[in-house]
Structure 1
Amino acid sequence: MPKSLKIYIFLLVVIFIGIIWADATKERPIDWRESYSLNEKIPFGLFVFNQEHKTLFKPQTVEKFSESPYEFLDRNYNTYDSIYDIEGTILLIQNKSAIDEFSENELFYFASHGNTIFHSNSIFSQKFADSLGFEIKYSNDFADSLQFKINRNQKASNFYFNKGINTAYFSKIDSSKTEVLGTQINSKGEKFANFIRVPYKNGNFYLHLQPVAFTNYYLLNKHSQYTEDVLGYIPSKSSIYWKVKQYDNEELSSSPMRYLLSQPALKWSWYLAWITLIIFMFFNAKRRQRVIPIKEPLKNTTVDFTKTIGNLYYQEKDHQNIAEKKIIFFLEKIRNEYYIDTYNLDETFINRVNQKTGRTKKDIENVVFMIKKIRNQSNTTEKELITFNELLEKLNL
């Protein structure tokens, strides 16, 4: 592994550790998101309510369902007898969450069979308003807090809500059949209904405008008595069917990846790690080439060819021919490498060879003497050829 690559990897590890350390040591900001989820421990989650619901609803039994009210009630409807296989109270705790039209119709039909609908929400559809005879308005008094009261428990301490509250109130109700169960009082002392009971055929609707009362923030902030008073209106002998948010997916909250991606520092560390890995793979793939096959260079067969030809002449005892070819090769080399004219092998030639090659003058004279001798005779003996070859090797040009 290249040294520069090791340095880059080391720096990335240091950065990654630094990000985790900074995230672990910094003060966590409070998440004021209004999730109303059973698994959320943030102020406006329902984790505490979910943990304590058995105590709050005792002795009622509670069954949770996550599908739409229409799907849940339709699943428990006996079409043969035209009655529901279940009876009791449908519990809905939402915030600015609308119910689909089919579910609304099913809730009214369920209530008409003598059951109860407890719905805490900050908004209600026009069908609810028209069918149950109420109107909702929003106060213009932007106070820091609102005082909540439950009518049947006037001796209880005042409950002041200052986080996550809304200014919605029931501005119009059908007083002939609607009962006001709770109120909210603004900074001017004005009292408005925020919790009512509306009979519907054989059943009842309990409508509450401050779902924030069921969140972690207020249950842990000494407001649990108010929540208990509100829920105390639910018939004690009825079963409760609680529509929860994402109940089917509760196990996802324990997933390591879900937690990692929920933390900003860990999420960006995860993204940084993936980006770094992709960049590393990209550049590594570009730099690493396929293995180049080793190809043997073409062999120079000139020497082998010369030896073969030489052996052929030697076997034929043609010493004269071999000697002449050695003379030609020697003089050709003198001309090409030392640029010396070889036309006349005289004293001038000997001196120039001596000057350019640095060989002794005596050795050069011996070679020139043998060349002249071989050229002047028609037959060269084997001994003469050997002597001539030894002189050439001694000269070593």
Structure 2
Amino acid sequence: MKGSRWFILFIVAFLFIMFAIEYHLPKGFVWKPTFGHNDEQPFGCALFDSLLSSSLPQGYSFSRKSFYQLEQEDTTQRRGILVISDNLRLSEVDVNALLKMAERGDKIMLASTLFGRYLEDTLNFRSYYSYFSPMALKKYATSFLLKDSLCWVGDSAVYPRQTFYFYPQLCASYFWGDSLPEKVLAQKVFTSDEFVYDTEADSLATDGFVYMPVAMSRRWGKGEVILVSTPLIFTNYGMLDGKNATYIFRLLSQMGKLPVVRTEGYMDETAQVQQSPFRYLLAHQPLRWALYLTMITIILFMIFTAKRRQRVIPVIHEPVNKSLEFTELIGTLYFQKKDHADLVRKKFSYLAEELRRKIQVDIEDVADDKRSFERIARKTGMDAEDIAKFFHEVRPVLYGGRTIGSEQMKVFIDKMNEIINHI
């Protein structure tokens, strides 16, 4: 017991020390874009949603519904719908529901690098997609290279023209400028040397620079559809990236005075999973390692305690034959009671059963005595008259209740044993 107590104390102290070490280690970040409502990593949206909830005057809420579900809701209040995704490939049903909402007066903002062919054909625009690489972002950031420029050009009467600076990996996607919607909100600036010209971009090239739209809007019915090709800016990192939060709020100001609803209905299922206590432990490195060490300790404890402990092997004695003692006990009881006739009756029952089983003779059937005695004589080799005389003498004891002494009992039992032994 004493050894077990020291073992438990050692394990508890070891876990405490490891937890303290892991807690003070530098925190590692996960740079995979999730846009998750509960994700506190750089490209999650926990901080983004929290700031908007406390900043937007008309209210900011969160939903997991699709455009079709939102369009089916019976509401007369106009809303601004915000969707942030890395790959927003909308189906025909989604696009039709989206446009119905916009036609009634809702404002829809779609922030994605891909929008799907059906939406592009409907709104008559084309987008350029660029794959995001977290390693490329880290390498570029540590190289201290210049950032790319995004120029705000929309609503000059409300907001002055201003240039914002982002890493190229965060704003690599843009829209082609051949057939743009009604209003361009923001443009990405390329130098003539770094941009590959084609007929679609010629109209946007001035003074050695090329301006490609990254945010634009299109009136639809009473509402508006706003397209943004830089979804990574709408994240925790985008909110904390210098003064670039101003750019985000300028884009969101296009919703006007409508309450904004952000839906995760078009995100990966893994990013939509709500936080659970277990997932919270796994999301933080110190807690995650504490959980791993606890599980490893429990497994080791189970392995070592599952081994069979050697017990004292008991001495197994050979069973004692008590048959003779039992026989002596029964004989003593009969001797004390002096019931000799009862012993003869029990012995006769055994004799009758043996004759019935071995030679098929029923000596209890008095009417068939002659045939029975002759069959017994043939099987045993004994004289038939002696056998008949024995049964005639013993039957009064069996059925008539006649008492006999011990000597007569021995004579009857010896005769019955003789018959049994000769069968």
Partner in structure 1 of residue 24 of structure 2: 25
Cα deviation, residue 31, structure 1: 3.2
**Mapped contact 2:113–2:130 kept (Cα < 8 A):** no
Match status 1:210 vs 2:230:
yes
Partner in structure 2 of residue 71 of structure 1: 69
Task: Count how many residue pairs are aligned between Structure 1 and Structure 2.
Answer: 287
Q: 1:190 aligns with which of 210, 220, 223?
A: 210
- Equivalent-residue separation in structure 1 for 2:174 and 2:160 (angstroms): 23
- Equivalent-residue separation in structure 2 for 1:170 and 1:269 (angstroms): 47
Quickly say closer, same or farther: Cα 1:280–1:46, change in 2 above 3 A: closer
**Mapped contact 1:132–1:200 kept (Cα < 8 A):** no
**Mapped contact 2:102–2:221 kept (Cα < 8 A):** yes
Cα deviation, residue 251, structure 1: 11
Quickly say closer, same or farther: Cα 1:171–1:43, change in 2 above 3 A: same
When structure 1 is superposed on structure 2, of 188-197 and 30-39 the one drifting more is: 30-39
**Mapped contact 2:172–2:230 kept (Cα < 8 A):** no
Q: 2:121 aligns with which of 109, 117, 130?
A: 130
Quickly say closer, same or farther: Cα 1:298–1:113, change in 2 above 3 A: closer
Match status 1:231 vs 2:233:
no
**1:180 aligned partner, one-letter code:** V
Cα deviation, residue 51, structure 1: 2.4
Partner in structure 1 of residue 164 of structure 2: 159
Match status 1:180 vs 2:184:
yes
Quickly say closer, same or farther: Cα 1:281–1:49, change in 2 above 3 A: closer
**Mapped contact 2:91–2:118 kept (Cα < 8 A):** no
Cα deviation, residue 147, structure 1: 1.0
- Equivalent-residue separation in structure 2 for 1:105 and 1:234 (angstroms): 20
User: Which string of whole-angstrom CA distances, capped at 9 and with x for unpartnered residues, describes residues 183-210 of structure 1?
Assistant: 1113553211111112334432110111
- Equivalent-residue separation in structure 1 for 2:187 and 2:125 (angstroms): 15
Q: 2:96 aligns with which of 93, 105, 115?
A: 105
For residues 260-271 of structure 1, what are the structure 2 equivalents within 5 Å? 260-271=281-292
**Mapped contact 1:146–1:187 kept (Cα < 8 A):** no
User: Which string of whole-angstrom CA distances, capped at 9 and with x for unpartnered residues, describes residues 99-121 of structure 1?
Assistant: 45533331122223333211111
TM-score scaled by length of structure 2: 0.57
Quickly say closer, same or farther: Cα 1:137–1:232, change in 2 above 3 A: same
**2:70 aligned partner, one-letter code:** F
Partner in structure 2 of residue 200 of structure 1: 220
TM-score scaled by length of structure 1: 0.61
For residues 258-337 of structure 1, what are the structure 2 equivalents within 5 Å? 258-288=279-309
Quickly say closer, same or farther: Cα 1:293–1:14, change in 2 above 3 A: same
Quickly say closer, same or farther: Cα 1:93–1:8, change in 2 above 3 A: same
Quickly say closer, same or farther: Cα 1:258–1:155, change in 2 above 3 A: same
Q: Any gaps of 5 or more consecutive residues in structure 2?
A: 132-139, 193-208, 321-423
- Equivalent-residue separation in structure 2 for 1:57 and 1:120 (angstroms): 18
**2:67 aligned partner, one-letter code:** P
Partner in structure 2 of residue 39 of structure 1: 38
**Mapped contact 2:177–2:212 kept (Cα < 8 A):** no
Describe the SS at the equivalent of 1:134: coil
Partner in structure 2 of residue 92 of structure 1: 83
Q: 1:147 aligns with which of 133, 149, 158?
A: 149
Cα deviation, residue 10, structure 1: 5.5
Quickly say closer, same or farther: Cα 1:150–1:157, change in 2 above 3 A: closer
Identity of aligned residues (%): 25
For residues 334-353 of structure 1, what are the structure 2 equivalents within 5 Å? none
**Mapped contact 2:22–2:289 kept (Cα < 8 A):** no
- Equivalent-residue separation in structure 2 for 1:274 and 1:190 (angstroms): 57
Partner in structure 2 of residue 243 of structure 1: 263
- Equivalent-residue separation in structure 2 for 1:7 and 1:63 (angstroms): 54
Cα deviation, residue 287, structure 1: 1.9
**Mapped contact 1:56–1:228 kept (Cα < 8 A):** no
**2:189 aligned partner, one-letter code:** I
Q: Any gaps of 5 or more consecutive residues in structure 1?
A: 78-83, 300-397
- Equivalent-residue separation in structure 1 for 2:33 and 2:311 (angstroms): 57
User: Which string of whole-angstrom CA distances, capped at 9 and with x for unpartnered residues, describes residues 284-310 of structure 1?
Assistant: 2332367866868999xxxxxxxxxxx
**Mapped contact 2:148–2:188 kept (Cα < 8 A):** yes
**Mapped contact 2:182–2:217 kept (Cα < 8 A):** yes
Quickly say closer, same or farther: Cα 1:138–1:251, change in 2 above 3 A: closer
Quickly say closer, same or farther: Cα 1:216–1:284, change in 2 above 3 A: closer
**2:41 aligned partner, one-letter code:** I
- Equivalent-residue separation in structure 1 for 2:168 and 2:315 (angstroms): 77
Cα deviation, residue 8, structure 1: 5.5
Cα deviation, residue 240, structure 1: 2.8
Describe the SS at the equivalent of 1:287: coil
Quickly say closer, same or farther: Cα 1:139–1:49, change in 2 above 3 A: closer
User: Which string of whole-angstrom CA distances, capped at 9 and with x for unpartnered residues, describes residues 17-61 of structure 1?
Assistant: 342232122211233232222333332232333223256432x34
Cα deviation, residue 159, structure 1: 0.8
- Equivalent-residue separation in structure 1 for 2:59 and 2:239 (angstroms): 21
Describe the SS at the equivalent of 2:307: helix
